[in-house]
């Protein structure tokens, strides 16, 4: 199956479309976090996507890179990130 076919299939449902955003975040997490766990992928990408959906002019790639890099540099723990609101996540980006 071609990439465009996967994209069209994912885009058909909102839930699937959110998965597409999460997959996009996974590459940022991979770039900054050494051997990320499944929990790290899920928690970080979920929080990033939730924050991303709040702003019209937000760049998902830059947001994901920023959050993944700060997490890798131990600016916050996974437990702290779980407790953050979408607005607190966006504050990390600014």
Say if residues 20 and 10 touch (Cβ distance below 8 Å): yes
Longest distance between any two alpha carbons in the chain, whole Å:
40
Say if residues 90 and 54 touch (Cβ distance below 8 Å): yes
Q: What is the pLDDT of residue 60?
A: 95
Q: In terms of pLDDT, which residue wins out, 19 or 91?
A: 91
Residue 54 lies in domain: 3-93
Q: How many domains does the chain have?
A: 1
Tell me the pLDDT band of 14, cut-offs 50, 70 and 90. Answer: low
Q: What is the pLDDT of residue 3?
A: 84
Which candidate, 22, 30, 38, 39, places its Cα nearest to that of 69? 30
pTM to 2 decimals? 0.85
Q: What is the pLDDT of residue 26?
A: 98
Q: pLDDT tens digits, residue range 25-83?
A: 999 999 999 999 999 999 999 999 999 999 888 899 999 999 999 999 999 999 999 99
């Amino acid at each position: 199956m071609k990439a465009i076919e996967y994209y069209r299939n994912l885009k058909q449902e909102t839930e699937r479309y959110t998965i597409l955003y999460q997959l996009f975040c996974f590459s940022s997490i991979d770039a900054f976090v050494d051997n990320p766990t499944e929990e790290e992928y899920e928690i970080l990408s979920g929080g990033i996507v939730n924050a991303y959906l709040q702003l019209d002019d937000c760049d998902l790639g830059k947001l994901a890179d920023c959050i993944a890099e700060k997490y890798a540099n131990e600016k916050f723990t996974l437990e702290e990130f779980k407790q953050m609101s979408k607005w607190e996540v966006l504050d990390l980006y600014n």
